[in-house]
């Protein structure tokens, strides 16, 4: 290339054009955002082939991008407004980090020339603000470094363990001339160490009573079918890891045994019967309450397969194999010998609950499971009723169930909107508590505007049921701020442009669900239930 040609290439595009070309090359067709002055040069003359998805608060913007990224298995691209927008978004950035959802989050910054004056909307130490919940964070030193920073943010976000990344972009950078950045192919699968796999296979072959503890990593990797084959070949009992944010094993499968509690004592009790525990696609283990984890006392052999070196590093006992799910499960399936072990007895599902008034939560959950189309996805955030949901709504497996892995509320409603956007014609159902719904309620507006095939079922028990229950577990009394009287979800939904109905009697439920699930566009069903709460972490009922 001559000198003249080289010079022409360097001046051929702007930072903005180079960025859009990268998005197209990465297959990113939507940008989730909430606009401000510092983003205007990026937003001006918006191209027709990229859909700008407006969210009315940044927690909703990031939650929607997260759901969409999970549905499409590509990084969600987000554009926020300086420190104020990132601040509003942080709770759901934390959740995306725990969910292992790939997101490239950009935020506007003031013009470089007035940064020294701490201008209006200036973001102080912008790249530090979302840390430690982003895998990579930068405000590039020069405008011409922005596209390469966005490319790096994309590869890093997409590399297992996936997660959010952050690029702060000063307002005047977008129009700066730059050399285009070519999108590259970066492979993502990481194969397991064959010797480590051999040791695991030997342990499985020698075990009398093995258990597989399966976590969200398997569904995330699209490896549920493979997982089922491995489970069937090994004839092991299958448990779900505590607080699994996805369904990685069909819950009606005969080997499906149950859900582990996030309590060290209860988890250890549930796994006591096994001489070998193999944790796949999950940490060892996520706990929510204190207690003695006798599982680590040495009587049980523990193996872990994880794509997350950090999760491997914090595992207190046993051997960890670092690999992505597909190559690891393929190798396991190939190496596992046939076994004469008897297949374990799975769980027994409870009988259908009766339709009584006041409407029992179990009846709602069972009715919803019956009414949902077979290919629907459920996005859930109803903390005190998760154990009941696990009993009365057995999930089908791959891409069927989502919630947040973080414990931070305000995720599932916007995530369901993003999910509906990514799943196009199939139905998405959001099952959400009255408390949880209110953290990011404005996501309803985005769904209504776009007539997304989304049905939101609000389980209204007039308060923070999980907190009532947790207060009992922790034996604390007289806690303020747990009752939420007087919220009218029908009016709220209608005010955001959604179809809505309230159900207070058991006999009204089935027709209301049927109608809502067939509604073209977004609808909400508010179901008023008894405010009595189940005791979480009760010692009985280990499932
Ligand atoms: C961002 C955030 N704030 C507060 C909490 C604490 N918290 C945990 S569960 C819960 C109650 C949720 O209420 P609701 O959605 O109505 O479900 P319910 O517990 O009644 O089933 C609260 C406030 C949290 N987990 N995350
Ligand atoms: Mg509630």
Residue 36 annotated to the active site: yes
pLDDT (tens digit per residue) in 317-327 = 999 999 999 99
361 Cβ closer than 6 Å to some ligand 1 atom: no
Distance (angstroms) between ligand 1 centre and the Cα of 475 equals 18
Q: Is the CB of 433 under 6 A from ligand 1?
A: yes
Q: How far apart are CA 205 and CA 336, in angstroms?
A: 8
Smallest CA separation from ligand 1 atom 23, residue:
464
User: Over the chain, what is the mean pLDDT?
Assistant: 95
For residue 445, pLDDT over 50 is answered with: yes
**Known catalytic membership, residue 288:** yes
The pLDDT, as a whole number, for residue 469 is: 85
Q: What is the pLDDT of residue 425?
A: 87
pLDDT level of residue 472 (50, 70, 90 thresholds): confident
Q: Are 384 and 437 in contact (CB under 8 A)?
A: no
- Does residue 410 have its Cβ closer than 6 Å to ligand 1? yes
Specify whether 63 is catalytic: no
C-alpha to C-alpha distances, 118 to 17, 111, 166, 364, nearest whole angstrom:
29, 10, 21, 54
pLDDT of residue 520: 95
Decide whether any atom of ligand 1 lies within 6 Å of the 522 Cβ.
Answer: no
pLDDT computed for residue 6 by the predictor:
52
**368-390 average pLDDT score:** 96
- So what's the pLDDT on residue 5? 55
Average pLDDT, stretch 87-111? 98
Residue 540 pLDDT greater than 60, yes or no:
no
Whether the Cβ atoms of residue 68 and residue 59 lie closer than 8 Å to each other: no
Least confident span in 26-35, 193-202, 351-360: 351-360
Task: Point out the ligand 1 atom lying closest to the alpha carbon of residue 466.
Answer: 19
In our burial notation (b when 16+ CB lie closer than 10 A, e otherwise), range 352-380 reads ebeeeeebbbbbbbbbbbebbeeebbbbb
pTM of the model: 0.96
Question: Considering only 2-11, 13-22, 406-415, which range has the smallest mean pLDDT?
Answer: 2-11
Residue 82 has pLDDT above 50, yes or no: yes
Q: By the 8 A CB rule, do 103 and 78 touch?
A: yes
The answer for residues whose C-beta is within 8 angstroms of residue 453's C-beta and 6 or more apart is 420, 423, 425, 426, 427, 428, 520, 521, 522
Residue 541 pLDDT:
39
State which ligand 1 atom lies nearest to the alpha carbon of 432.
15
Question: For a pLDDT cut of 70, what percent of the chain falls above it?
Answer: 97
Give the torsion through C-alpha atoms of 396, 397, 399, 401, to 10 deg: 70
> pLDDT class for 3, splitting at 50, 70, 90?
low
Closest listed ligand to the CA of 465: 1
Ligand 1 near 74 CB (within 6 A):
no
Residue labelled with tokens 């020294």: 116
Distance 409 CA to ligand 1 centre (A): 6
Give 524's Cβ-side CA count (13 Å radius): 31
Q: How confident is the model at residue 10 (pLDDT cuts 50, 70, 90)?
A: low
Of 425, 228, 262, residue with least CA distance to 346: 228
Rounded to whole angstroms, what are the CA distances from 135 to 87, 96, 530?
A: 17, 11, 43
| For residue 166, pLDDT beyond 60 | yes
Residue of 467, 527, 528 to test ligand 1 pocket, by largest number of atoms within 8 Å of CB: 467
According to the model, what pLDDT value does residue 448 have? Answer: 98
Q: Is the pLDDT of residue 543 over 70?
A: no
Residue with tokens 């895998």: 135
CB-neighbour burial class of residue 253 (10 A; exposed 0-12, middle 13-18, buried 19+): middle
Q: Which one from 37, 44, 113, 507 is the annotated catalytic residue? A: 37
What pLDDT, on the 0 to 100 scale, is given for residue 531? Answer: 77
In this predicted model, what pLDDT tens digit does every residue of 192-234 receive, in sequence order? 999 999 999 999 999 999 999 999 999 999 999 999 999 999 9
Mean pLDDT, range 24-35, rounded to an integer: 98
The Å distance, Cα 267 to ligand 2 centre, comes to 26
- Annotated catalytic residue 209: no
Ligand with an atom nearest the CA of residue 441:
1
Residue with tokens 């009394």: 477
pLDDT at 530 (0 to 100): 81
What is the rounded CA–CA span in Å between residue 381 and residue 422? 19
- Name residue 168's beta-bridge partners: 107
Tell me whether residue 81 is one of the annotated catalytic residues: yes
Write phi, then psi, for 32 (nearest 5 degrees): -100, 125
Rg (CA), the chain: 24
pLDDT of residue 468: 86
Which ranges of 253-398 does DSSP label H, i.e. alpha helix? 264-271, 309-314, 325-335, 361-371, 386-392
- Residue 497: what pLDDT? 98
DSSP symbol at 303? E
Give the number of residues written for the chain. 543
**Region 253-266 average pLDDT:** 97
pLDDT in tens, 382-429: 999 999 999 999 999 999 999 999 999 999 999 999 999 999 889 999
> What is the pLDDT, as a whole number, of residue 36?
97
Residue 361 CA to residue 77 CA, distance in Å, equals 37
Q: Are 287 and 268 in contact (CB under 8 A)?
A: no
What is the average pLDDT across 5-33?
87
């Amino acid at each position: 290339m001559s000198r003249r040609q080289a010079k022409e290439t360097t001046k051929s595009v702007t930072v903005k054009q180079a960025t859009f070309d990268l998005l197209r090359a990465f297959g990113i067709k939507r940008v989730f955002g909430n606009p401000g002055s510092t983003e205007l040069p990026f937003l001006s003359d918006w191209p027709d082939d990229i859909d700008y998805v407006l969210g009315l608060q940044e927690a909703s913007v990031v939650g929607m991008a997260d759901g969409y990224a999970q549905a499409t298995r590509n990084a969600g691209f987000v554009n926020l407004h300086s420190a104020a927008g990132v601040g509003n978004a942080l709770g759901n950035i934390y959740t995306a980090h725990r969910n292992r959802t790939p997101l490239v989050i950009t935020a506007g910054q003031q013009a470089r020339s007035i940064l020294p004056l701490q201008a209006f909307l200036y973001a102080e130490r912008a790249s530090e603000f979302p840390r430690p919940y982003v895998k990579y964070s930068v405000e590039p030193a020069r405008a011409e470094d922005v596209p390469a920073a966005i490319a790096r943010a994309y590869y890093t976000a997409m590399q297992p363990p996936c997660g959010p990344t952050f690029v702060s972009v000063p307002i005047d950078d977008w129009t700066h001339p730059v050399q285009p950045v070519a999108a590259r192919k970066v492979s993502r699968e990481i194969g397991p160490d064959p010797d480590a796999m051999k040791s695991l296979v030997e342990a499985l072959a020698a075990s009398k009573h093995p258990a597989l503890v399966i976590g969200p990593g398997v569904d995330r990797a699209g490896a549920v079918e493979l997982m089922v084959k491995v489970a069937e070949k090994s004839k092991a009992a299958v448990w779900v890891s505590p607080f699994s944010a996805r369904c990685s094993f069909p819950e009606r499968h005969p080997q499906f045994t149950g859900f582990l509690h996030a309590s060290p004592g209860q988890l250890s009790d549930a796994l006591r019967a096994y001489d070998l525990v193999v944790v796949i696609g999950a940490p060892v283990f996520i706990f929510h309450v204190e207690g003695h984890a006798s599982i680590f006392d040495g009587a049980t052999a523990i193996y872990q397969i994880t794509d997350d070196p950090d999760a491997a590093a914090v595992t207190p006992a046993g051997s960890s194999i670092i690999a992505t799910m597909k190559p690891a499960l393929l190798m396991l399936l190939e190496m596992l010998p046939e076994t004469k072990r008897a297949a374990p007895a799975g769980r027994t599902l409870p009988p259908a609950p009766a339709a009584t008034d006041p409407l029992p939560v179990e009846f709602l959950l069972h009715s919803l499971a019956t009414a949902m189309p077979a290919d629907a996805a459920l996005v859930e955030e109803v903390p005190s009723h998760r154990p009941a949901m696990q009993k009365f709504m057995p999930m089908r497996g791959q891409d069927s169930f989502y919630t947040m892995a973080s414990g931070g509320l305000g995720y599932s409603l916007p995530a369901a909107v993003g999910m509906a956007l990514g799943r196009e014609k199939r139905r998405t159902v959001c099952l959400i508590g009255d408390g949880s719904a209110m953290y990011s309620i404005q996501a309803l507006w985005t769904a209504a505007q776009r007539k997304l095939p989304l049905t939101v079922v609000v389980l209204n028990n007039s308060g923070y049921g999980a907190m009532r229950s947790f207060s009992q577990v922790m034996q604390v009394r007289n806690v303020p701020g747990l009752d939420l009287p007087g919220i009218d979800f029908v009016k709220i939904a209608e005010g955001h442009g959604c179809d809505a109905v309230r159900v207070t009697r058991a006999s009204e439920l089935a027709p209301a669900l049927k109608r809502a699930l067939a509604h073209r566009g977004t609808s909400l069903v508010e179901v008023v239930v008894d405010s009595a709460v189940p005791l979480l972490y009760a010692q009985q009922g280990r499932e």
